[in-house]
A and B are shown apart, each in its own frame.
Chain A
Amino acid sequence: MVTHATRSPGHQVTSKIIIQQLSIWFGKVLALRSLNLEIQGNEILGVIGPANSGKTSFLRQLNRLNELEASFRMSGEVILDNKNIQHIKPEALRKRVGMIFALPQVLPISIYDNVAYGVRMHDGKSKSELDGIVEDSLKSSFLWDEVKDRLKELATKLSGGQQQRLCISRTLAVKPEVVLFDEPCSGLDPISTAKVEESMLKLKEKYTIVLVTNNTKQAARVSDRTAFFLTGELVEIDKTHKLFTAPKDKRTEEYIQGKFG
């Protein structure tokens, strides 16, 4: 079952990303099979499913990271704001569609430089503008208070949870429209996880968020809608509370009850 956003004339189109008949192969292996899905603006879409369900391939298609693999092939379309992403330059697309990885990848440079890294890469900003962007980005990920007095310190000295929030700041600093989270809390303790989730809920006001997670409870806590993937197929997508309380598909029910996966 796929819920479609209203697209009749007179109604505002709320879908940020529309995915049509998307299939992905790596070599001969089919990772994702004819996916149809719409992601609405300013929602958190949770994506759950066991290993090899295609959820990561799906996520990495939204910013075209899949194509770094030599064996990657695809069919179908991903449309971002009425434009097929295959017709957008990958650099430009990835600036608009940011991504947070499972393991935080901070660079061995200062906290400040980590956040400023992407901004500097894209356009020359003055020192004061850059300072403002760094501060705003660190505030959005609730890291500012913890690091404001030591912005010049090496980012690698931060704890795992802080590093992950630093990566969020770094992504936000380039002013994306969509933020993809790829199991962002898989290596974090519960307190750090709570902080990352808190920042996600805050980010929703400005950004569209897709959260791939192995932790079904996390999807239940933060996402507005949740999609359940299994062996490369979308089994079910619905409002999160509906999917978790009254799933339509037997397989969804078994998965969220922990019977497999």
Chain B
Amino acid sequence: MKLRQIKEFIIEKLIFLSGILSILFVVLIFTFLLKEGFLFFKEISIKTFITGKYWYPISDPEQFGILPLILGSLIVTLGAIIVSVPLSIACAFYISEVAQGRIKDILKAGIEMLAAIPSVVLGFIGMTTLVPFLKNVFNLPTGLTALSGSIMLGLMAMPTIITISEDAINAVPKSYKEGALALGATRWQAMYRVIIHAALPGIIAASMLGIGRVIGETMAVMMITGNAAVIPTTFLQPVRTLTATIAAEMGETVHGSMHYYSLFAIGIILFVITFIINVTADMFLHRNKK
């Protein structure tokens, strides 16, 4: 009896420990990020950092303006949304409402495969196929543009958006659909007047989570967007994103320099953006459950 109690006690504490560890890590990472970032903000105000138009961290005098980087991230993300959201929602509808039997299974497996492709591979494929293609089609000096990043990242966001939207559509009570059909709605009318309406919070949440993934994505964008830190005006010019900046420069910077701290500051900004997106998505998902 005694032995059993000890065993229970140990198991309970072990589970507690593994649970608390994940929280501990988050807190540690967060404090580290804040600590290093704030050293930077002591020297340069958040406002000049965010609204500054020039990112010359190693020239003399150095300039730390991340507006081009923020806009670079935004334009790539916006493009990715345009590419992925309509396609993904249509796909989710096809899978949950139209496709039957084998086609459905094949599609679902295919989408899981898409999610399993490492981003570096997607970047590599984009670099060798999409980039030259865009260069030829639009007759550009380089195919490394915001558009190529948008297309590849759109592909990357699709599995997330499709699977979560599909869950949201499946969660719509069958009776809603029957109610619409019983009034003489065609299958399409029932779909777009009732099912989309009911599944909308889930679909929005799915899109937000997809967007969160796009903003945080690094490897593929670094490989195919050209990495020029200038304020973008069209989709057909090279851009540099927040993430690519950190990844590209962290290895070369002097530990403890202003440049080094500025990258942590970018990390904080990125964290804030993704945090806001995830919280919003969560709110929508939560509303959906109620």
Q: Which residues of A approach B to under 8 Å, CB–CB?
A: 63, 65, 68, 70, 90-95, 98-99, 101, 103, 105, 107-108, 117-118, 121-122, 167, 170-171, 174
Number of A-B residue pairs with CB-CB distance less than 8 Å in the complex they form: 54
Rounded to whole Å, the gap between the CB of A105 and the closest CB of chain B is: 4
Q: Is the CB of A70 within 8 A of B184?
A: no
B interface, over-half SS: helix
Does B62 lie at the interface of the complex (its beta carbon under 8 Å from any beta carbon of A)?
no
The 7 closest A-B pairs by CB, nearest first: A95-B184, A105-B179, A118-B183, A99-B182, A94-B184, A91-B186, A91-B184
A99-B194 Cα distance, complex, nearest whole Å: 17
A-B contact pairs, 21 of them (CB 8 A): A68-B178, A91-B184, A94-B183, A94-B185, A95-B184, A99-B182, A101-B175, A101-B179, A101-B182, A103-B175, A105-B175, A105-B179, A108-B197, A108-B198, A118-B185, A121-B183, A121-B184, A121-B189, A122-B184, A167-B179, A171-B182
Of B175, B176, B184, B193, the contact of A92 (CB 8 Å cutoff): B184
Does B181 lie at the interface of the complex (its beta carbon under 8 Å from any beta carbon of A)?
yes
Q: Is the CB of B197 within 8 A of A98?
A: no
Rounded to whole Å, the gap between the CB of B176 and the closest CB of chain A is: 6
Rounded to whole Å, the gap between the CB of A117 and the closest CB of chain B is: 7
Does B257 lie at the interface of the complex (its beta carbon under 8 Å from any beta carbon of A)?
no
CB contact list, B180-219 vs A, under 8 A:
181-186, 189, 193-194, 197-198
Q: Which residues of B approach A to under 8 Å, CB–CB?
A: 100, 175-176, 178-179, 181-186, 189, 193-194, 197-198
Contacts A107-B197, A121-B193 given; indicate if A98 touches B175 (C-beta within 8 A).
Answer: no
A119-B186 Cα distance, complex, nearest whole Å: 13
Q: Which residue of A lies closest to B185 (CB)?
A: A121
Q: Is the CB of B183 within 8 A of A95?
A: yes
A interface, over-half SS: helix
Contacts of A93 in B (CB 8 A): 184
A167-B183 Cα distance, complex, nearest whole Å: 10
Contacts of B175 in A (CB 8 A): 101, 103, 105
Q: Known contacts A105-B175, A118-B183; can you find 10 more A-B pairs with CB under 8 A? A: A65-B178, A91-B186, A92-B184, A105-B179, A107-B176, A108-B197, A118-B184, A121-B185, A174-B183, A174-B184
Contacts of A117 in B (CB 8 A): 183, 193
Contacts A101-B175, A103-B175, A107-B197 given; indicate if A65 touches B182 (C-beta within 8 A).
Answer: yes
Contacts of A108 in B (CB 8 A): 197-198
Contacts of A70 in B (CB 8 A): 100
Rounded to whole Å, the gap between the CB of B195 and the closest CB of chain A is: 11
Q: Is the CB of A68 within 8 A of B181?
A: yes
A105-B182 Cα distance, complex, nearest whole Å: 11
Q: Which residue of B lies closest to A180 (CB)?
A: B182
Contacts of A99 in B (CB 8 A): 182
Rounded to whole Å, the gap between the CB of A57 and the closest CB of chain B is: 14
Q: Give the one of A65, A91, A122, A170 with max B CB within 10 A.
A: A91
Contacts A70-B100, A107-B194, A107-B197 given; indicate if A94 touches B181 (C-beta within 8 A).
Answer: yes
Rounded to whole Å, the gap between the CB of A119 and the closest CB of chain B is: 9
